Amino acid sequence: MPHTYIERIGSHVGEQVTIKGWLHNRRSSGKIHFLVVRDGTGFIQVVMGKSDVGEEVFRRADHLGQETSLIVTGIVRADARAPGGYELTASNLDVVGVAHDYPITPKEHGVDYLMDRRHLWIRAERQAAILRVRHEVINAVRDFFNADGFILADTPIFTPAACEGTTTLFPVPYFEDTTAYLTQSGQLYNEANAMALGKVYCFGPTFRAEKSKTRRHLTEFWMVEPEMAYADLGDVILLAERLVSAVVARVLDRRATELKVLERDTSKLDHVHPPFPRLHYDEAAKILIEKGRPFEVGGDLGGTDETVLSEQFDRPVCVTHYPAAVKAFYMKPDPEQTDRALCVDVLAPEGYGEIIGGGQRLDDYELLVRRINEHNLPPEAFEWYLDLRRYGTVPHGGFGMGIERAVAWICGLEHVRETIPYPRMLYRLYP
Amino acid sequence: MPHTYIERIGSHVGEQVTIKGWLHNRRSSGKIHFLVVRDGTGFIQVVMGKSDVGEEVFRRADHLGQETSLIVTGIVRADARAPGGYELTASNLDVVGVAHDYPITPKEHGVDYLMDRRHLWIRAERQAAILRVRHEVINAVRDFFNADGFILADTPIFTPAACEGTTTLFPVPYFEDTTAYLTQSGQLYNEANAMALGKVYCFGPTFRAEKSKTRRHLTEFWMVEPEMAYADLGDVILLAERLVSAVVARVLDRRATELKVLERDTSKLDHVHPPFPRLHYDEAAKILIEKGRPFEVGGDLGGTDETVLSEQFDRPVCVTHYPAAVKAFYMKPDPEQTDRALCVDVLAPEGYGEIIGGGQRLDDYELLVRRINEHNLPPEAFEWYLDLRRYGTVPHGGFGMGIERAVAWICGLEHVRETIPYPRMLYRLYP
């Protein structure tokens, strides 16, 4: 009997198929077992009548524990009342591996309890749905850049120096008394790659040794970072708008089932089309003060500031021209207002805060040297980076988008910890 | 004037276009400059006649150094003699950023010299071609798995314990006296993910603190690892064959230009179609002994053994049923020969050695506990992994494919160090 995945069961109505999965739920009424089976691609109700399968097979299903693995053969029936629209009328059932006292039951469990059992928790309908949305977001991002002529160029995880200060770096003993630092951003390498390949992106894990315990932070998170040679801030903003819109549209299109499981109000995502509203930092500051935030002009936006701002709009908002002093050393200053950076942060709506940060890079050799000194960065570590300004410098720019924050927003989650299979946090390194 | 990328110049013959790039090469003959310009997507010869552009513009190009960044406007002409098939007859040229004494000239440089300048070396035609093949390989892999119903589920980089012994692990001080280890494989987590999502893959950087300096080793390398629930060794081999064949076919189809730059003899890749020859370990041992290798039956294959074996075939060869003793603790023993593992290594032809290693996993709880003890692994670190056998265990399997080795083989390179933008090795952490 050919093995069929539940997600494709609709093309086998009236046919006999075999599914291989796990028992999600069971109830029995005398001579019928109702088994909800999951196989990783979906859930289906199996109806097993004693008269159809015979006494012996029927008895096999009498005491099956949740998450018992099993193989069921039966006829697919369309049934509008069934979740998913189909049912299986069983003709046989084989138990593959038993399960007793599965620790995650339909009752409520605390988050720590579930996180300790993350390897099992991901079997839950809601968690599996989030991971499928994550899969879709990542593939939407990659397809977007590939179709647009970007070349994937991986930047190193082991780096010899910090990109943006050292306080939140993870040092790793390398060989012979050398220390490597885990990357916080592929940014600097991306710039070199863009000079070689035109338009590039990197997409990998990045690390922050942050002791903060907020709903937006992980110590290990995935980031996509595009970088374009011969591009200015305007190009960067256009790219960010197009990317975010494409990703949201793709998830709405292909993961409607999952968003429904998550009870996501997708009407909130329908507005995510370019152009996004743009706010100069000064306008943003004005709104924050009007809204009663204790905001100090000249400073960076805090998490709550971002939340307040993003709540003003029905789609992501681009905040530009932050004070150069609060941004990284490699940002290009606005020639018309040199204390401002040609930068953009994209804040997701519904209070999700920054999902993208980027801008135009400093392409002037002398000014870059000055900035490296002002930031007390070790100049020798940036010799190679300065070469990009020595040999055929060009205007260029790009951004980084954090995948977990984007997934949290699109799924409508409280905390980023559910957006990745095995979240790593201050007190979480297991499983 | 709209900006055109060189790779799309063929659709603008007879039109005036602007290209933005860098000077790769220059020669002049009296009243004509011949400028070879690259823009990251390709190379084109710009022909600039003094009478066409006037004295002033012509003079700008008199002393341009290699890698000067420049913007050229001109008419596209088809010319069968030109490399790439097109030329640009310039009507204007603007210098964006000068470059003097670019350190990588057409003359020969040593590998260390070039690796110290890797951020510039990747601008070279050959290096850029390799990175484009890498991009294609990675996207071919992802498209293959996505089209086949696999879900991307990222496994953690920070792990609490070693997957296969501790001697080649990089420890990282985590918070409050905890130690994290950089992942060597997503394998164990993949198994949990497959039980949740059916068919999964992870794709990320992995780390080996290996002090060996061979042409096949990096300390940081990328690996794709698929894992399937309800699968046996046969399924794993079929998947590996299909994957490798699909990747090679895609590169041959889409990166012919790059393979030509690399002077790759592509006839060697034309045979890469399923089925691949299969060799039981015992047969492999027999061949090695016949070929005069000092091979000890019962031991693992060394690099040279792999080379000798793979040279016997015109396509990758699958070596199966290694002694269980030389394989990881999580391999399922062959029920008919319990000292053998249900495993497969795929060796690339032309002496490239192992590109894939995998097999069927041990799905029996008792036996797995015994193996963990035999391997002196800390049982508490594997409690979660044992849960996968406690709650609905199923036959399952998968493999890992190293991207850099696959790219080295497909490109026909001597050493894996050129297959990644910033290789990390024993003595190489910069740039």
| ipTM of the complex model | 0.97
Distance CA B245, CA B223 (A): 17
Q: Residue A180: which of B23, B178, B429 has the nearest Cβ?
A: B429
- B378 min Cα distance to partner chain A (Å): 14
Q: For position B165, what pLDDT does the model report?
A: 62
Tokens (6 digits) for A242:
């197009």
- B398 min Cα distance to partner chain A (Å): 16
pLDDT average, residue stretch A234-252: 98
Q: Which residue of A has its CA nearest to B95?
A: A392
- Name the band, by pLDDT with cuts 50, 70 and 90, for residue B230: very high
Taking CB atoms and an 8 Å cutoff, what residues of chain A touch B96? 392-395
CB spacing of B431 vs A69 below 8 angstroms: no
- Name the band, by pLDDT with cuts 50, 70 and 90, for residue A107: confident
Taking CB atoms and an 8 Å cutoff, what residues of chain A touch B393? 69, 96-97
Tokens (6 digits) for B344:
């497969």
Chain A, 358-377: which have a CB under 8 Å from a chain B CB?
363
Q: For position B83, what pLDDT does the model report?
A: 79
Chain A, 91-120: which have a CB under 8 Å from a chain B CB?
96-99, 102, 117, 119-120
- A1 min Cα distance to partner chain B (Å): 14
CB spacing of A5 vs B392 below 8 angstroms: no
Taking CB atoms and an 8 Å cutoff, what residues of chain A touch B420? 154
Give ∠ CA A412-A416-A420 in degrees, rounded to 5: 105
pLDDT average, residue stretch B305-329: 95
- The per-residue DSSP string of B48-86 comes to EEHHHHHHHHHHHTTTPPTT-EEEEEEEEEE-TTSTTSE
State which CATH number among 3.30.930.10, 3.40.1160.10, 3.20.20.70, 3.40.50.1370 fits the domain covering A118-419.
Answer: 3.30.930.10
For B374-431, how does the pLDDT look when each residue is reduced to its tens digit (9 = 90+)?
A: 988 888 889 999 999 999 999 999 999 999 999 999 999 999 999 999 999 999 999 9
The answer to whether the CB of B15 falls within 8 A of the CB of B30 is no
Would the pLDDT of B10 be above 90? Answer: yes
The answer to whether the CB of B391 falls within 8 A of the CB of A99 is yes
- B177 min Cα distance to partner chain A (Å): 11
CB spacing of B156 vs A422 below 8 angstroms: yes
For A380-431, how does the pLDDT look when each residue is reduced to its tens digit (9 = 90+)?
A: 889 999 999 999 999 999 999 999 999 999 999 999 999 999 999 999 999 9
Would the pLDDT of B193 be above 60? Answer: yes
CB spacing of B20 vs A394 below 8 angstroms: yes
Distance CA A203, CA A185 (A): 10
DSSP H helices, A273-397, are: 281-290, 303-310, 365-374, 383-390
Q: For position A213, what pLDDT does the model report?
A: 80
- pLDDT > 90: percent of chain A: 90
Q: For position A266, what pLDDT does the model report?
A: 98
Give ∠ CA B328-B330-B334 in degrees, rounded to 5: 90
- B283 min Cα distance to partner chain A (Å): 33
Chain B, 210-249: which have a CB under 8 Å from a chain A CB?
211, 219-220, 222, 229-230
- A421 min Cα distance to partner chain B (Å): 6
Q: Is B347 exposed, middle or buried (0-12, 13-18, 19+ CB in 10 A)?
A: buried
pLDDT average, residue stretch B11-24: 97
- The per-residue DSSP string of A137-171 comes to HHHHHHHHHHHTT-EE-PPPSEESS-SS-STT--E
Q: Which residue of B has its CA nearest to A156?
A: B422
CB spacing of A391 vs B219 below 8 angstroms: no
How high is the mean pLDDT of chain A?
A: 95
- B133 min Cα distance to partner chain A (Å): 10
Dihedral class, residue A141 (left if φ above 0, else alpha if ψ from -120 to 50, else beta): alpha
For residues B297-313, b (16+ Cβ closer than 10 Å) or e, as one string?
eeeebeeebbbbbbeeb
Tokens (6 digits) for B127:
């290096």
Tokens (6 digits) for B170:
């990089």
- Name the band, by pLDDT with cuts 50, 70 and 90, for residue A202: very high
CB spacing of A429 vs B135 below 8 angstroms: no
pLDDT average, residue stretch A71-89: 93
- B286 min Cα distance to partner chain A (Å): 38
- pLDDT > 70: percent of chain B: 99
Q: For position A162, what pLDDT does the model report?
A: 61
- Name the band, by pLDDT with cuts 50, 70 and 90, for residue A163: low
- Name the band, by pLDDT with cuts 50, 70 and 90, for residue A165: low
- Name the band, by pLDDT with cuts 50, 70 and 90, for residue A1: low
Would the pLDDT of B100 be above 80? Answer: yes
CB spacing of B131 vs A153 below 8 angstroms: yes
Q: Residue B391: which of A102, A135, A389 has the nearest Cβ?
A: A102
For B135-188, how does the pLDDT look when each residue is reduced to its tens digit (9 = 90+)?
A: 999 999 999 999 999 999 999 999 987 655 667 899 999 998 899 999 999 999
Taking CB atoms and an 8 Å cutoff, what residues of chain B touch A160? 429-431
Would the pLDDT of B236 be above 90? Answer: yes
pLDDT average, residue stretch B202-227: 93
Q: Is the dihedral of CA A147, A202, A226, A345 positive or negative?
A: positive
CATH code for residues A6-97: 2.40.50.140
Q: Is the dihedral of CA B201, B205, B207, B212 positive or negative?
A: positive
Q: For position B61, what pLDDT does the model report?
A: 93
Chain B, 245-284: which have a CB under 8 Å from a chain A CB?
none
For A321-375, how does the pLDDT look when each residue is reduced to its tens digit (9 = 90+)?
A: 999 999 999 999 999 999 999 999 999 999 899 999 999 999 999 999 999 999 8
Count of CB pairs separated by less than 8 Å, A with B: 255
Residue to mutate among A190, A197, A257, with most B CBs inside 10 A, is A197
CB spacing of A197 vs B426 below 8 angstroms: no
CB spacing of A96 vs B393 below 8 angstroms: yes
pLDDT average, residue stretch A217-229: 97
Dihedral angle at the C-alpha atoms of B267, B268, B269, B270, nearest 10 degrees?
Answer: 50
pLDDT average, residue stretch B287-292: 96
Q: Residue A154: which of B153, B192, B420 has the nearest Cβ?
A: B420
Residue to mutate among B168, B172, B197, with most A CBs inside 10 A, is B197
* β-bridge mates for residue B333, sequence order: B341
Q: Residue A97: which of B122, B178, B392 has the nearest Cβ?
A: B392
Chain A, 21-60: which have a CB under 8 Å from a chain B CB?
22-23, 39-41
What backbone torsions phi and psi does residue B306 show, to the nearest 5 degrees?
Answer: -60, -40
Q: Residue A429: which of B20, B102, B174 has the nearest Cβ?
A: B174
- B314 min Cα distance to partner chain A (Å): 30
DSSP H helices, A148-293, are: 187-197, 233-254, 256-261, 281-290
pLDDT average, residue stretch A126-133: 98
Q: Residue B96: which of A153, A387, A394 has the nearest Cβ?
A: A394
Give ∠ CA B11-B15-B21 in degrees, rounded to 5: 75
Q: For position B167, what pLDDT does the model report?
A: 78
Taking CB atoms and an 8 Å cutoff, what residues of chain B touch A151? 40, 131-132, 135
The single residue listed with the structure tokens 């509008």 is A80
Neighbour tally for A215: CB within 10 Å? 13
Taking CB atoms and an 8 Å cutoff, what residues of chain A touch B136? none
CB spacing of B158 vs A219 below 8 angstroms: yes
- Residue ranges of the domains in chain B? 6-97, 118-419
Decide if B198 touches A, using CB distance below 8 A.
Answer: yes
- Name the band, by pLDDT with cuts 50, 70 and 90, for residue A29: confident
Taking CB atoms and an 8 Å cutoff, what residues of chain B touch A195? 22, 40, 123
The answer to whether the CB of B119 falls within 8 A of the CB of A189 is yes
